[in-house]
Amino acid sequence: MAGMPQEREHTHAGPSTNLTLTVDGKATTLTIAELQAMPQTTVTVHNEHTKVDETYSGVLLGDLLAKYGLPVTQATHRKMLRSYLTAEGTDKYWVLYSVTEIEASEHNAQVIVATSMSGKPLGEDGQLKLIDTSDKKPQRWVRNLSAITVKSAE
């Protein structure tokens, strides 16, 4: 199947129960409760597949990077510009974002690790889902999000 376009990877996998965030090889595992205890951001996005607006709440991914290894400062700015991250679900589906894209100080998008939709748990989408407000299609909204790994392209 390598190289073939695919909508979903047909792997049966369970719901995500926590998030492993790895920055510079240093891994931190965050529980749903820990994520919900951090400052929350709510975004409303249009789901082009279901044709409905959806409201998600969760933690800004930029806040997580700031707290766990890659804060945006003058000293790290160039590193940020050259870093990217992979976001993976429990089914091994994964996508890539540039770190610049997820930083609110740098880019007009909000990218959150959502723990609820319309104030309720995410249900079939697992306990965690990555949501961004700029993509036209939901292809980078990783359901059952389980790992985010930051890497440098240098």
Ligand X SMILES: Nc1nc2c(c(=O)[nH]1)N[C@H]1C(S)=C(S)[C@@H](COP(=O)(O)O)O[C@H]1N2
Binding stretches for ligand X (CB under 6 A): 7-9, 49-50, 89, 91, 93, 137-139, 141-144
Q: Which stretch binds Mo ion (CB under 5 A): 17-25, 80-88, 104-112, 135-143?
A: 135-143
Find the shortest distance in angstroms from Cβ 47 to ligand X: 6
Find the shortest distance in angstroms from Cβ 73 to ligand X: 32
Cα–Cα dist 30/109, whole Å: 23
Strands in 41-47's sheet, in edge-to-edge order, are 41-47, 52-60, 111-117, 129-132
Is the Cβ of residue 72 or residue 112 nearer to ligand X in the bound state?
A: 112
C-alpha closest to that of 127 among 46, 47, 53, 31: 31
Is the Cβ of residue 81 or residue 117 nearer to ligand X in the bound state?
A: 117
Task: Identify residues 7-26 at the interface with Mo ion (CB under 5 A).
Answer: 7
Find the shortest distance in angstroms from Cβ 29 to ligand X: 18
Please report the beta strands in the chain, taking only residues with DSSP state E, as ranges in sequence order. Answer: 18-23, 26-31, 41-47, 52-60, 83-89, 94-98, 111-117, 129-132, 145-152
Find the shortest distance in angstroms from Cβ 85 to Mo ion: 20
Q: Which stretch binds Mo ion (CB under 5 A): 61-69, 90-98, 109-117, 133-141?
A: 133-141
Is residue 139 close enough to count as binding Mo ion by CB under 5 A? yes
Query: How remote is the C-alpha of 85 from its chain's centroid?
Result: 9
Residue that is written with structure tokens 């870093």 in the block: 83
Backbone angles phi, psi at 35, to 5 degrees: -65, -40
Query: Residue numbers of the site for Mo ion (CB under 5 A)?
Result: 7, 139
